[in-house]
Structure 1
Amino acid sequence: MSAQTVTISRLGAQGDGIAHTDQGPLYVPFALPGETVSVARIKNQGTLISLLTPSPERQAPACRHFGPDGVNGTCGGCTLQHLKDAPYHAFKRNLVIEALKAKSIEIDVDPLVVAHPGERRRVALAARRTEKDMLLGFNQAETHHIVDIQECPIAAPGIVARLETIRAIAKMLATSADAFRITVLETPAGLDLAFEGLKPLSDKQRRAGIETVLAQRGIARVSVNGEILVEPVKPVIDFGGASVTPPPGAFTQATKPAEDAMANLVIAHVGKAKRIADLFAGAGTFTLRLARIGRVHAAESDDKALKALDHGARNTQGLKPVTVEKRDLFRRPLTAQELKVFDAVVFDPPRAGAEAQVKEIARSGVKKIVAVSCNPLTLARDLAILIEAGYRLTRVTPIDQFLWSPHVEAVAVLEKA
């Protein structure tokens, strides 16, 4: 380890400050462009020792767990609380711009749809039982150390208000000192808590856990390792007027405002399409909204999510027909021939993108395409395939739903040239 003084030239894709040195780029968490900092260096990583010249773009962090002065914060849930709003928004938008440029895609990217504190309805907490108490919070960056939290400005107030309730339930269910994970989803009916990584429960633990949950207010469901332990109320969420009960721990968009923004962009581009394919459909975030426009075929590999979607479609009035298909779109994408019957295709894949499926879409000639992505790099790769096949990219909108993190969503719309 060596100490040195460096000047930060830019922010990296993960939100670290980057200094250019004789030994190559040095990555310094919590440092901002233009700042002169003293760091302890190990290879290409720097730990900020002191801030010699602060940036005018630096601000006091919103959360005590981030660190009192935005330097060497402990909680790993956020990385950019110390950056003022305007440069933070520019950073997020620029992640999309640079990913597109790397694939030689030139387009005037829309302004960022911004996120606000208190909007996160879904958070993934780390937890571990100690001799005296229960640690509940987030892992410190690059470590397995759990930072115990009493507040979280990004999370919905309904989640923050029940942190002690979550802690009490976790304490009853955990029998060892092994770390585990709790996915918390806020629904109108109450919190949906999905525990993963716990040891199998004994009958006595099950009874005690159920009694603990029933004694609390505001808990809709608790599941352990995918199995429902107790469900006082069904945790129903709304997809454009259709009610869906997602499977325990299932993927949902992290904030309702971001979901609505994405859905509005999808619907606007699909227009009056009569037959629509929704690929990587999940539990129906877009499918059930699109079914108010035309017939929708939803393809998804997660059987439980697909059943939740199907149940929601069957129990909602005013929808056009919805068909569902369990299908691994990475290994067995819908073929160009299968896609030819659709007027529009929507796809929202995981971070790896949808390269195999996109190649089939490119060959299909379908008139309208909407790509929804949580990874600008794989989005740019997939868009390049479609553009090469003769599609015209007309709009790209970056959307922030992971506040103060380096993650950004985007919606891209294309039409056959």
Structure 2
Amino acid sequence: MSALAMNETLAIARLGQRGDGVAEAADGQVFVPFALPGETVRAVRDGDRAQIVEILTPSASRIAAICPLFTRCGGCAAQHMGEGLYAEWKRQQVVTALSRAGITTDVAPLVDAHGAGRRRVTFHARRDENGMRVGFMAAKTHDLIEVEACPVLAPGLARAPAVAKLLANRLRASNKPLDIQLTASEAGLDVDIRGHGPAGDSLRRQLTEAAERLDLARLAMHGEIIVERRAPLQLMGKAAVTPAPGGFLQATAEGEATLSRLVLAAVPKAKRVADLFAGCGPFSVRLAERAQVSAYESEKAAILALSRAVNHTQGLKPVTAEARDLFRRPLLEHELNAFDAVVLDPPRAGAEAQIRRLAASQVPVIAYVSCDAGSFARDAALLVAGGYALERVTPVDQFRYSAHIELVGVFRKSAGRK
């Protein structure tokens, strides 16, 4: 069958969760990347997927992309969406997830938290016959798209592609695929390289020399510091935190600040707060400006970073920080009941074991920060079944143009439920 004979005309009805246009065909749904609701497109179809050949009737919400690599690079899914459509698409992801879990609550409009841009980026490096190629992966493939600049990055990462390229070339003899993570800090670039394996003495000297030449704040490999020329500080409220190499950070500084404001607004009168999955402490240090905080996090390096920051910050109430695996050893009801409020920000999979304990507790208010609407909805249903009311949910967008969405949900123990 010829390519022309495979073409179909499709009417796009809505957007899917990943940003694809969805058409209703006689044999089921067809997903069309980069198509918008209301558009009619001619496309080449393969099963339930199709690729646009021509847009016959464009949507009024279609806008020009800001990056020439859009549709090739896999980093962005939505540069073609107008502001109103984009915001409602992201908000609707949360509404749909909650609806599927049988939960009805107020879902606020999307909060834009892109700010100055993403402060962390990971470049992939692969060797071919022409040397090291450095860039991002294409959508749904392992093809590498070389990148010289990225418009969604913060100004502090402007030279990140060039730095990644130089470091990749220093390591080309290994013939290994590399992931080079660069983070913008108050002191400059903080770099962690993964995939190479341990560095011997000779390579460590070469990398130290490269860090000097590139004026890096810190250079690490697999989380092990090769050289720290300046502490790569991140400002969090009153505190200056030095995260562990490659340690978790919110994608944007504005995103972290926005999530923190929502968390603080949820627990305004709490005197004792538990911060679960606390990371290096972006919520803990801000909460400690007015409440006593007990922070729990499985990564010992993150707990150490938080403790050091607290010890060097004046004007905070007491903060205790404990390394504890909350998946294997969640806080129990009698421990939870000692707090006026609980804040949690678990990984994408959610926190089912800890949530079951929270559902059985008497904690008055819970502020749940999530990066996955589906796992949040599952956990929310458990809390509601345990006597909590989900008062409100606020979607937060710090991964602009991607399908990712953050949110903050506020739960309060219903009166009379024990």
Question: TM over 0.5, yes or no?
Answer: yes
Shift of 1:415: 1.6
Distance, in Å, in 2 between the alignment partners of 1:365 and 1:193 is 43
The Cα of 1:120 is off from its aligned counterpart by 0.6
Alpha-carbon distance in 2 for matches of 1:381, 1:145: 34
391-400 or 128-137, larger mean C-alpha shift: 128-137
Cα offset, 1:166, TM superposition: 2.6
2:366 paired with 1:369: yes
With over 3 angstroms needed to count, the CA separation of the structure-2 counterparts of 1:177 and 1:33, relative to structure 1, is farther
Structure-2 change in CA distance of 1:278 and 1:117 (3 Å): closer
- Of 286-295 and 99-108, deviating more is 99-108
TM-score, normalization by structure 2 = 0.94
Q: CA deviation at 1:171?
A: 1.4
Cα displacement (A) at 1:3: 2.7
Aligned residue for 1:318, secondary structure, equals coil
Q: 2:13 aligns with which of 9, 13, 33?
A: 9
1:49 equivalenced with 2:56 (yes/no): no
Match 2:42 to one of 17, 38, 44: 38
In 2: Cα distance, 1:356 partner to 1:115 partner: 30
Question: Aligned Cα RMSD in Å?
Answer: 1.5
* 1:114-146 superposed Cα distances (whole Å, 9 cap, x missing partner): 144741111222222334343222100111111
Structure 2: gaps spanning 5 or more residues: none
Q: Normalising by structure 1, what TM-score? A: 0.95
Please give the per-residue CA displacement for 1:324-349, whole angstroms capped at 9, x wherever unaligned: 22211112110111111111000100
SS at match of 1:25: strand
Query: 357-366 or 191-200: which moved more?
Result: 191-200
Q: Match for residue 302 of structure 1?
A: 299
Q: Percent sequence identity over matched residues?
A: 46
1:145 to 143, 149, 157: 143
- Check if 1:129 corresponds to 2:133: no
**Separation in structure 2 between the aligned mates of residue 175 and residue 208 of structure 1, nearest angstrom:** 13
Which of 162, 167, 170 is matched with 2:168 structurally? 170
Q: 2:65 aligns with which of 42, 57, 61?
A: 61
Q: Quick one: which of 237, 242, 251 aligns to 1:254?
A: 251
| Residues 117 and 155, structure 1, Cα contact 8 Å, conserved in 2 | no
Q: Quick check: 1:26–1:45 contact (8 Å CA) kept in 2?
A: yes
User: Aligned partners of 2:116, 2:11: CA distance in 1, in Å?
Assistant: 34
Matched, 1:189 2:187: yes
Match in the other structure for 2:391: 394
Unaligned runs of 5+ in 1: 67-72
Q: Which aligned runs of 4 or more in structure 1 are off by greater than 4 angstroms?
A: none
TM superposition shift of 1:276: 0.8
Distance 2:45 2:280 in 1: 46
1:224 to 209, 221, 229: 221
- Give the 5 Å matches for 1:348-367: 348-367=345-364
Distance 2:321 2:66 in 1: 44
Residue 16 of structure 1: CA displacement? 0.9
Cα distance between partner residues in 1 of 2:266 and 2:394: 12
Deviations 1:338-385 (A, max 9, x none): 111111000100111111111111111111110000001111111122
